[in-house]
Amino acid sequence: MTAFLPDASPIDVAVIGGGPAGLMAAERLQAQGLQVHLFDAMPSVGRKFLLAGKGGLNLTHAEGFDAFVGRYAERTPVLHPLLEAFGADALREWAAGLGVATFVGSSQRVFPTDMKAAPLLRAWLQRLRHPAAPGVPVQFHMRHRWLGWQDGSDPSSPLRFDSPQGEQAVQARATVLALGGASWARLGSDGAWQPWLQQAGVALRPLAPANCGFDVAGSPVHGREEGWTPLLAERWAGQPFKSVRLRCTGVDGEVFDRQGEFVLTATGIEGSLVYAASRLLRGRIEAEGRAGIEIDLLPHRTAEWVLEQVRHPRGSRSLSSHLKSRLGIDGLKLAMLSELLDRTAMNDPQQLATAIKALPVTLLRPRPIDEAISSAGGVAFEALDDQLMVRQHPGLFVAGEMLDWEAPTGGYLLTATMASGVRAGEGAARWLESR
């Protein structure tokens, strides 16, 4: 239910954004006895959270802390203290406090025992609306789209909202922005906040797709500048490459070399293995206009074994029958070889064996940001203090995917998002107390 707020009413704290970061900031502020008003443009909170958990809510990851925090690459130094204060173990304890038990899967990913996001969100909202003392119920204002500040360059001026009652002005003693990045705009994360923060002089990094798919360059064999041939795309789009290894190198020399799965799309590739490499691939494309990867189609076999099997006499059998019987290569893997190798290479044992162990694929561009699982870029950490407050605008805090960081899937995104909400909420509470 949406609370009504009289125009220009002064409030303690405005939290703008009803995703995990905003809800966590509201919870920490509420625990200090502050009256929190949470605003969101959507009809209900946590929409991206619910959709992300549709196939099983991956809350966090159970690997050791040093390995965990290393997943944030160049942002590890700034996120380390946030995750030290609220990391994977703390997140599981927090869920248990809501009555949601968790378990560690075979991949070390952590899930609720029922795998669902909705029960956790319901319990969370119930606690925010009916807290134990000294907490004050959080007031939720849905269908309130933030429009910046009345004085566009001055965040101390009243906040502007487009609401069901028309435009409203709200004066807050402190504000926490948790509006998300620019992926999944239909669920509220549309990046519309960028111009208002730029006008206020807050340093931003351009938003870019993260954990995303890529479009491929075309095969010279088929005279294409980009994209798969219709034969490959129509027959195999949506099918997975199983048990393969992907290798690539970033512009700074960082090497990605990991086994897993990914999916062929109508225009390129996507899926967990590609998402994990997306930061390096995006950086290479930004620097050089394209990025190369190598796919090992048989990572469990040595190059010597592959060459030996390819060279084995096949008699009257076709090449496809030979590759299936001797190496287990058929279906999509065989189709990819045919897509990227000419007839001469397919019939040359050395070239074919080399391609099976290191099939080169060139990527042209990431898919559009609205298709990405998450986004990189956002508010620069240099613009913030260690409480995530904007240095030049005291009382303005930022949390979640608005910040300039990225992480692979596997629970890392959600954990850091919530850790930043904890830090911003506690920071705002301390700042108000000091006032």
Task: Say whether both 203 and 228 belong to one domain.
Answer: no
CA 63 from chain centre, in angstroms, equals 19
Query: Is residue 289 assigned to a domain?
Result: yes
Per-residue pLDDT tens digits for 353-385? 999 999 999 999 999 999 999 999 999 999 999
Of 340, 366, 392, the one marking the end of a domain is 366
pLDDT given for residue 52 in this prediction: 82
CATH number at 70 reads 3.50.50.60
Domain of residue 171 covers 10-209+375-434
Which of 366, 384, 407 is the C-terminal boundary of a domain?
Answer: 366
| pTM of the model as a whole | 0.93
Query: What are 294's strand-pairing partners?
Result: 247, 360
Residues 253 and 151 in one domain: no
Instruction: Determine the pLDDT at residue 1.
Output: 42
Contact of 397 with 428, CB cutoff 8 Å? yes
pLDDT tens-digit map of 259-286: 999 999 999 999 999 999 999 999 999 9
149 assigned to some structural domain: yes
Q: State whether 53 and 192 are in the same domain.
A: yes
What pLDDT was estimated at residue 325? 94
pLDDT of residue 7: 52
5 is a domain residue = no
Same domain, 89 and 152: yes
Do 172 and 223 fall into the same domain?
no
pLDDT below 70 — which residues of the chain? 1-9
Residues 26 and 158 reside in one and the same domain: yes
In a domain, 2, yes or no: no
The last residue of a domain, from among 344, 366, 388? 366
**Could you tell me if 162 and 84 lie in one domain?**
yes
Number of domains, the chain? 2
> Do 338 and 407 have their domain in common?
no
pLDDT at 184: 81
Query: 353 and 384 in one domain?
Result: no
279 in the same domain as 133 = no
Contact 359, 338 (CB under 8 A): no
Residues 61 and 74 in one domain: yes
Q: How many angstroms separate the Cα of 236 from the Cα of each of 1, 141, 233?
A: 46, 46, 6
The vertex-252 CA angle with 206 and 265, nearest 5°, equals 65
Predicted confidence at residue 326, as pLDDT, reads 95
Statement to judge: residues 178 and 75 lie in one domain: yes
Is the Cβ–Cβ distance between 171 and 154 less than 8 Å?
no
Domain membership of residue 169 (yes or no) is yes
Cβ atoms within 10 Å, residue 421? 30
